[in-house]
Amino acid sequence: MLYVVLFFLLFSLLLYVLLGGADFGAGIVELFSSRENRKVTRDTIYRVMGPVWEANHIWLIILLVILWVGFPGYFNVMMIYLHIPLVLVLLGITIRGVAFVFRHYDAVLDSSQIWYNRLFRVGSLVTPVFLGMSFASLISGKIIITNDYSNYGFYDLFMEPWLHLFGLLIGLFYAALCAFLAANYLIAETEGDARKLYRKKSIMYTVVLVVLGFALIVYGYFADFIFIEDFIHNPVSLISVGISGLLLIPLWRSIKRGSRIWSRYLAGLQGVLIMFAAIIAHFPYIIITSEEELSLLENLAPEATIDNLALMLLIGGFVILPGLFHLMKSFNLIKVLDKSKP
């Protein structure tokens, strides 16, 4: 049953990172667009993300519940030492979430739209950056786990673990991945000029992503981060990243050919491979503190809890996944039907 729980942990993490990420990315693409292109993006996002954006973000809650029920020791460390970056993530989630709804459901169209748009775009950028920084602090080797809080300064315990260049690079890398996913997703949803625009965006964000990824590894290696060292020496991670890199070729070809489906799936697959490489590099020791490496598998809840959680996840999965699939499919299908009727 533990494997069921681990599967759902990984599954919801990947789905949040990819689907929630594409959602953040759409806001980033909008942020870095020219004035007239922003309007196109805004409308496209509403059309394609509107029905699913809330569902996308629930993966985060599922992930959180799995962590706190199944891996209480891990959750405890995260909640104490990542308090500040997580508050910043929450601020971002709150602001962009409500701004998205406000801008589409406000009964009056006036200058307040400018504010909703600004908040949505900026929130879309900072949230993945802080999420990346939170992840980075787990593997940074800078967390000091202690019971003797008076011996350390506030900065050492609660700021130092996440506030560093390595963390910022990971944050920016994740934001770039989000934008890359969104650009490729949007290609398949648009026509004509808008399509050309997202093609350009897709290539631009691919370049940014590769450059940031490279910078991340080089900096991490020379700054002696254990995680990067192990990443480079882990064959599975290297192969995953390698395949992800090689997939760029068919991706570019499919974008050029105008194949809607392939470019989306290829980009998604690349995202999965990158995340998989990052998680597997140091699995199951996902928390690296200043003194030790904490194994996910050694900080488990009692067996009765794990069994119960696995059962709940299976039941929930059977209810949710078909519904979610149907939701996504319906609205794709509907769009196709709409187009056939001019």
Q: In the complex, which residues of this chain contact another protein (CB under 8 A)?
A: 50-52, 54-55, 57-58, 60-62, 64-66, 68-70, 72-73, 75-76, 78-80, 83, 86-87, 90-91, 93-94, 97-98, 100-102, 105-108, 149, 154, 157-158, 301-302, 304-305, 308-309, 312-313, 315-316, 319-320, 323-324, 327, 330-331, 334
- Alpha-helical segments (H) within the chain: 2-15, 21-31, 35-49, 53-70, 72-81, 83-105, 112-139, 154, 165-187, 192-222, 226-233, 235-246, 248-257, 260-280, 303-340
- Beta carbon of residue 335, minimum distance to another protein (angstroms, whole number): 9
Question: Looking at residue 299, what DSSP letter applies?
Answer: S
| Long-range CB contacts (within 8 A, 24+) of 256-260 | 258/195, 260/187, 260/188
Residues 232, 168: Cα–Cα separation, whole Å: 20
Based on CB atoms, which residue is closest to another protein, 61 or 297? 61
314: its two tokens: 């299976």
Residues 6+ apart with CB under 8 A from 36: none
- Beta carbon of residue 56, minimum distance to another protein (angstroms, whole number): 9
- Beta carbon of residue 51, minimum distance to another protein (angstroms, whole number): 4
Based on CB atoms, which residue is closest to another protein, 52 or 215? 52
- Beta carbon of residue 266, minimum distance to another protein (angstroms, whole number): 26
Residues 128, 158: Cα–Cα separation, whole Å: 20
- Beta carbon of residue 310, minimum distance to another protein (angstroms, whole number): 10
Residues 258, 255: Cα–Cα separation, whole Å: 5
- Beta carbon of residue 112, minimum distance to another protein (angstroms, whole number): 9
Based on CB atoms, which residue is closest to another protein, 224 or 337? 337
Based on CB atoms, which residue is closest to another protein, 200 or 329? 329
Based on CB atoms, which residue is closest to another protein, 125 or 169? 125
Based on CB atoms, which residue is closest to another protein, 91 or 217? 91
* 83 C-beta neighbours (distance < 10 Å), count: 13
Based on CB atoms, which residue is closest to another protein, 106 or 291? 106
- Beta carbon of residue 265, minimum distance to another protein (angstroms, whole number): 22
Residues 6+ apart with CB under 8 A from 150: none
Based on CB atoms, which residue is closest to another protein, 159 or 248? 159
Residue entry with tokens 């809890």: 305
Q: In whole angstroms, how far apart are CA 185 and each of 132, 164, 176, 318?
A: 21, 32, 14, 26
Q: Which of 49, 25, 205 is nearest to 127 (CA)?
A: 25
How far is C-alpha 287 from the chain's CA centre?
19
- Beta carbon of residue 81, minimum distance to another protein (angstroms, whole number): 8
- Beta carbon of residue 328, minimum distance to another protein (angstroms, whole number): 9
Based on CB atoms, which residue is closest to another protein, 246 or 333? 333
Residues 233, 244: Cα–Cα separation, whole Å: 17
Nearest 10 degrees: Cα torsion 195, 190, 99, 131 = -60
